[in-house]
Structure 1
C-alpha cells in the first residue's frame, strides 16, 4: 500500500541523520574508525539514509 509521508516525517529523518552522523564522528574520534561502536553507528546511519531515500522515491 502506498503511503505518502508528511513533510515533518522528512524533516525528522534529516534531523536524525545529522545527529547520527555527529555521533558517529565523535565515536570514531574516541574509539577509532574500525571500532565495533563506530561500525554499529555507521550501520544505523545507513539505515536512516535508506529511509530518506525511500521517502524521496515516494515523493517523486
Structure 2
C-alpha cells in the first residue's frame, strides 16, 4: 500500500505540474492574442488615418 500510495502521489504531482504548465501556457497565449489584437487595431487605425489623409489631399487638388 505504501508503495502504491507513493506512486499515486507522484502521479498526482505530475498531473498538477502539467495542469499548471497548461494554465501558464494558456495565460501566455492570451497575452499574445491581446498583443496581436492591439497591433491589428493600431494598424487598422493607422491605415484609417492614412486613407483619410489621402482623401484630404485629393479634395485639395480638386
In which range does the TM-score fall when normalised by the shorter chain?
0.3 to 0.5
- Choose 1 or 2 for highest CA Rg: 2
**TM-score by structure 1 length?**
0.43
Q: Which has the higher helix share?
A: 2
* Higher relative contact order, chain-length normalized (CA < 8 Å, sep 6+): 1
**TM-score by structure 2 length?**
0.42
